[in-house]
Amino acid sequence: MAASHEARSNGLSRRDFARMMTVGGAASWFVAGRPWTGPAQALLQTPAQPTESFWGAVRDQFVMPRDLGVMNAANLCPSSAPALDAMYENTRDMDRDPSPQNRVKMAEGKENTRQLLADFLRVTPEEIIITRNTSEANNMVSSGVHLGEGDEVVLFADNHPSNKRAWESKSERFGFTINELPNPNPHPGPEYYIEAVRAALTPRTRVLALTHLTSSVGDLMPARELCQLARENDVLSLLDGAQSCGLLDVDLGDIQPDFYTGSAHKWPCGAKEAGGLFVNQRSHDKIWPVILSAYSGRVGISRTHEGFGQRDEPAIIAFGEALKFQTRVGRQAIEQRSRDLASLAIEELNKIDGVQVWTSPNPSRRAAVVSFLPGNLDVRRLSAALYENDRIGCATRGGQDRGGLRFSPHFYNLESEVERGVAAVKKYVAQGV
């Protein structure tokens, strides 16, 4: 992946970036035109005051071209170069030699990813199940927790379908009830949600299912307080982390949910068929395995709950490399960068007559998901025009409930892309699509 014209013109070459990012000047990341060729030989660090040129060099660690500004991390991220290379090299290696002997290192790679994910979430490998994605992980919980008539699950209206419809479907089958709590707009503050859950919990409540950061309008839920409230009432908590894992500097040791789920293909910038389920040590005996086959994990709960049969081991290994890449760049720096881009988008969108921003203007109540209604425009036609004419990718949100467009920028996006996207929205709102 050769450096683009834009990368050369921003004043920071890849070699300069490697020099900035490494302690002691080690620059083995960038060799012979390849963005990544193996493990870094020194710890990487982000400058105390990262410039736009720095983030431009980070952007060049993704194959997405500079003329395409896709702000859709809430749905699908590009893989970082280390993840992409790991996927390619390990897939080729396994196809070159599919023998049991050669595949030993694939199993070792999976366990390495388990350790990396545990470190990333600040928990232990014994508490990690490697899944395909958040949806699979959520369903493992809703199918694995024993519930029946007389039991109750409390969940929020803005939960993702895999953490909402799954519970609703299983309630019809097994006879437990659902108590659905609203997500008001704009975000009413953490106190509202804490008191709403406190009022909803009864002696019948067995599970509290919530989304850490909603995919609809980007509301950030008070996860730590809600999980604590559940614990105090002997209620299991399931925290859907599809929109927080890889974006927020998540510390599950602090939040203490019973279950936490996440995907590699969103904010971690990893492979497309990998994810994880955290099961708190205290809750290992609270969930039944729902998929039973061979080739389970080696430690902790993975021994009994990870018997999925053949998995895409190169994808799992690539997930680990994606986590290592983000750790090198700096998780706090990534979160702040993504938040800053979202703040820029909200600030500029609020200047456009006829645009309704659904996402909270309060930084403490959101992160990097920005939803807005672009006047009276057909959002599908607008999305197509943004992509075809302005090279901006984003998601559409249909329906009557806060419909419109969704920008979800991440650390590989540039300020110029946000500005270009908002300027294009302003143009189309004024003149039509």
pLDDT at 230: 98
More confident residue, 253 or 401: 253
Give the mean model confidence (pLDDT) for residues 349-362: 97
pLDDT of 34: 42
Report the C-alpha gap between 184 and 211 in whole angstroms: 14
Residues paired with 238 in a beta bridge: 209, 259
Tell me, what's the pLDDT at 399? 65
pLDDT at 25 exceeding the cut of 60: no
pLDDT surpassing 50 at residue 30 = no
CA–CA distance, 98 with 137 (Å, rounded to integer): 28
Ranges 19-28, 330-339, 370-379: which has the least confidence: 19-28
Sheet holding 128-131, edge to edge: 128-131, 275-279, 259-263, 236-240, 205-211, 152-156, 177-181
Buried b (16+ CB within 10 A) or exposed e, 211-222: bbbbbbbbbbbb
Domains of the chain are 1-61 (no CATH), 100-324 (3.40.640.10), 333-431 (3.90.1150.10)
pLDDT of residue 293: 80
Ranking 11-20, 108-117, 206-215, 374-383 by mean pLDDT, the lowest is 11-20
First to last CA, the chain: 35
Residue 162 reports pLDDT greater than 90: no
Q: How confident is the model at residue 261 (pLDDT cuts 50, 70, 90)?
A: very high
Which of the four pLDDT bands, split at 50, 70 and 90, describes residue 310? Answer: confident
Looking at every residue in the chain, the average pLDDT score rounds to: 90
Q: Are 328 and 40 in contact (CB under 8 A)?
A: yes
Is pLDDT at 26 greater than 50 in this prediction? no
pTM, rounded to two decimals:
0.89
Amino acid at 84: L
pLDDT over 90 for what percent of the chain?
82
> Is pLDDT larger for residue 399 or for residue 280?
280
Residue 36 reports pLDDT greater than 80: no
pLDDT for 22 beyond 50: no
Q: Considering only CA atoms, which of 276, 408, 268, 270 is closest in space to residue 331?
A: 268
The confidence score (pLDDT) of residue 400 equals: 64
CA angle 269/123/90 to nearest 5° reads 40
pLDDT of residue 420: 98
What average pLDDT does this structure show over 169-175? 95
202-224 mean pLDDT: 97
User: Would you say residue 330 has pLDDT above 70?
Assistant: yes
The pLDDT confidence band at residue 8, using thresholds 50, 70 and 90, is: very low
Enclosing H/E stretch for 288: none
pLDDT digits (tens, 9 = 90+) for 377-424: 999 999 999 999 999 999 998 766 788 999 999 999 999 999 999 999
Over the stretch 81-109, which tens digit does the pLDDT of each residue have? 999 999 999 999 999 999 999 989 999 99
The pLDDT assigned to 397 comes to 87
Question: Do the Cβ atoms of 204 and 150 come closer than 8 Å?
Answer: yes
Q: State pLDDT tens for residues 72-82.
A: 999 999 999 99
pLDDT at 150 over 90: yes
